[in-house]
Structure 1
Amino acid sequence: LIQSMYIFKQPHIGGAVDCHQDATFLITEPSSVMGFWIALEDADLENGCLWTLPGGHREGLKSLFKRTPHNTTEFETLDDTLWDDSRLVPLEVESGTLVLLHGLLPHRSLPNRSPRTRHAYTLHLIEQDLPYPEWNWLQRHSDLPLRGFR
């Protein structure tokens, strides 16, 4: 388990998340990140559900988010072609639904325009035995060694 996040989209103001691939941010060689997105409330078009690009995981990684030697971060572009937004489809789900996201699968969410909240919890897992580069932006303290799944 490399990362977990609680996502709270507030009513009327919950922001959008641009289309991205989780493998951009959690890099192993080869790529192994898997996202587990758990709907804690119903997620629909009005409150900012996930959208994804069917088959998009076959198109390859678009960029890497890297830590620099100066302890800043930067994106490295690998493929500057844009995703075809017209092919994105909404993933409207009920509370309690688990959505599995391949690390290369492009996905986004739009703003919450509804009077309802949209809560979700995500976990990102990587394979334990694969190299996790030192230039990954997310690093653990040396007292807390990185662990993954086998």
Structure 2
Amino acid sequence: MKRKKILAEVQPGIGGEVVPHQDNSFLYTEPTTCTGLWLALEDATIINGCIWAIPGSQKNGLVRRMVRGEGGVSFDRPSPTYNQNDFVPIEVKAGSLVVIHGDLIHQSFENQSSKSRHAYSLHVVDTDGCKWAPDNW
């Protein structure tokens, strides 16, 4: 029992802010095929930094890409400004898998609570019938 208490005390505040983005921006294929898999190892709530998303935003296509060039890595256009009121929280219990369309605009806020929020994040792309962009970062 003491071990559980120590783990809970050691891990508060884990999880930094992730600014609004689309996964296809970073893992670009033609056609776009990136899918994010986010497995909550602990409950993810508004208090400890769950994912927030703009419902239906995946229907509007890719906003911008991160590309690799001679000068390094940069975005091909400026970051859009999003209305924070358009985002909704995706609170899930430990063991839940959140599947994220590559064009879905999503973010998370820094975990400033005394409770941890560990998760595994994995991104997959189709390996058949699509082309991996040579200028991906």
Say if 1:96 and 1:113 are closer, same or farther in 2 by CA, change over 3 A: same
Distance in 2 between the 1:86 and 1:59 partners?
18
- Asked whether the equivalents of residues 36 and 124 of structure 2 are also in contact (C-alpha less than 8 Å), the reply is yes
Q: Is 2:108 the partner of 1:136?
A: no
Shift of 1:13: 6.1
Instruction: Please show how residues 41-120 of structure 1 align to structure 2 within 5 Å.
Output: 41-70=42-71, 72-77=72-77, 81-120=80-119
Distance in 2 between the 1:24 and 1:99 partners?
19
- Asked whether the equivalents of residues 40 and 96 of structure 2 are also in contact (C-alpha less than 8 Å), the reply is yes
Residue 63 of structure 1 aligns to a residue in which SS?
A: coil
Residue 58 of structure 2 aligns to a residue in which SS?
A: helix
Q: Which residue of 2 aligns with 1:142?
A: none
- Asked whether the equivalents of residues 14 and 116 of structure 2 are also in contact (C-alpha less than 8 Å), the reply is no
For 2:110, give the aligned amino acid: P
Distance in 2 between the 1:120 and 1:13 partners?
10
Shift of 1:81: 4.4
Instruction: Give the fraction of aligned pairs with identical amino acids, expressed as a percent.
Output: 43
TM-score by length of 1: 0.79
Instruction: Please show how residues 1-20 of structure 1 align to structure 2 within 5 Å.
Output: 11-12=12-13, 14-20=15-21
TM-score by length of 2: 0.86
Residue 136 of structure 2 aligns to a residue in which SS?
A: coil
Say if 1:134 and 1:96 are closer, same or farther in 2 by CA, change over 3 A: same
Please tell me whether Structure 1 or Structure 2 has the larger radius of gyration of its CA atoms. 2
- Asked whether the equivalents of residues 15 and 118 of structure 2 are also in contact (C-alpha less than 8 Å), the reply is no
Shift of 1:83: 2.6
For 1:99, give the aligned amino acid: V
For 1:131, give the aligned amino acid: K
Unmatched runs of 5 consecutive residues or more in structure 1: 1-9, 138-150
For 1:55, give the aligned amino acid: G
